[in-house]
Amino acid sequence: MRIVRYRDERSTYLGMLKGEKVAIITMDDGTPFSCFIDLMKAAYDNDIELTEFVRNRIEERDFSYHDLYESKTNSLTLLSPIDPPEVWGCGITYKSSRSAREFETKTKGLYDLVYEAERPEIFFKATASRCVGPNQEICIRGDSKWTVPEAELAFILGPEEEVVGFTVGNDVSARDIEGENPLYLPQAKIYRGCCALGPTIVTVDEVGKEPDLEVECKIYREGELVFKGSTRTSKMKRRIEELRSYLCRFNPVPVGTVCLTGTGIVPPDDFALRDGDLVEITIEKIGTLRNPVKQL
């Protein structure tokens, strides 16, 4: 099942996708669910599995599917499918990220060690206010000259810290700031517009708990394609369950926490994002997350 969130001039909706068509997910009184976390909590409180709960919320109300991308009023806006209370990130989960970090750092050896170590690198990445959804601006810090997108599969945790689904994540990062000193990691990672999420959430019943999905990243400058890279999540060194269990170890996380699983796509070392660029990340079965870039 794929879930989207969008708004028109009247309200905000959660919908279940069927191709390009969407059906609104409603509460008992017919009002639409507008928050994925509320939807997960409602399914949990009713002791019903999330996808079954969603199907009931649509069939019972007999809503017909409408076209998501061509609203009658043309004022329909796709939103981030979730406003996560916390976003965490995993690092050096692909060989390509290990080499990129070793190249940029002045503190050699650290990233080689963490790639081989039993414990993964997991860092705090963002709160909802720092995240953007589809078509919203991701940002380059005003004090960074070398910022890049990081195309990552992101998992979403439910009420029992279980993986309920996946979305596309962009862990926008300042390579120059992290490269100067690894202790600057939070500044390289956490700032306004540092993370994009969307466009849909695909639930585990559709892709499994350890999905092997193709990930692609394209960057356009003045309409021209200036970078294209791809990988598969099966090239990741760690399993989703390994990352999930380390994240939650002695660290209760709120329902709706999102965790980015690390990047396997690194643009050439002389490439930096610029104001006005457009970043497109596509993950098979989830969709394409598109964001323009703004220099702060």
Give contact residues for ligand DO4 (rule: CB under 6 A): 89, 91-93, 97, 101, 121, 150, 171, 173, 262-263
Residue with smaller CB distance to ligand DO4, 133 or 262: 262
Minimum distance between the CB of residue 71 and ligand DO4, rounded to whole angstroms? 36
Minimum distance between the CB of residue 125 and Mg ion, rounded to whole angstroms? 8
DSSP 192-208: TT-EEEEEEEEEHHHH-
Minimum distance between the CB of residue 169 and ligand DO4, rounded to whole angstroms? 10
Minimum distance between the CB of residue 234 and Mg ion, rounded to whole angstroms? 18
Minimum distance between the CB of residue 261 and Mg ion, rounded to whole angstroms? 8
Q: Quick one: which segment of 13-21, 65-73, 112-120, 146-154 binds Mg ion (CB under 5 A)?
A: 146-154
Residues in contact with Mg ion, total (CB under 5 A)?
A: 3
Cβ distance 172 to 250 under 8 Å? Answer: no
Residue with smaller CB distance to ligand DO4, 93 or 200: 93
Cα–Cα distance for residue pair 216/229, rounded to 1 Å: 6
Residue with smaller CB distance to ligand DO4, 75 or 107: 107
Residue type, 39: L
Binding of residue 280 to Mg ion (CB under 5 A): no
DSSP 238: S
Residue with smaller CB distance to ligand DO4, 83 or 150: 150
Q: Give whole-number Cα distances, 128 to 193, 197, 200, 258, 261, in Å.
A: 10, 10, 16, 10, 18
Cα–Cα distance for residue pair 294/287, rounded to 1 Å: 23
Q: Which of residues 93, 257, 263, 291 is near Mg ion by CB under 5 A? A: 263
Q: Which of residues 83, 171, 178, 277 is near Mg ion by CB under 5 A? A: 171
| CA 173 to chain CA mean position, Å | 14
Beta bridge partners of residue 70, listed in sequence order: none
Place of tokens 């998992």: 155
Residue with smaller CB distance to ligand DO4, 121 or 277: 121
Q: Give whole-number Cα distances, 4 to 25, 82, 201, 287, in Å.
A: 10, 9, 7, 11
Residue with smaller CB distance to ligand DO4, 54 or 243: 243
Q: Quick one: which segment of 134-142, 208-216, 259-267, 276-284 binds Mg ion (CB under 5 A)?
A: 259-267
Cα–Cα distance for residue pair 3/87, rounded to 1 Å: 19
Q: Phi first, then psi: give them for residue 114, nearest 5 degrees.
A: -70, -30
Residues that bind Mg ion (CB under 5 A): 150, 171, 263
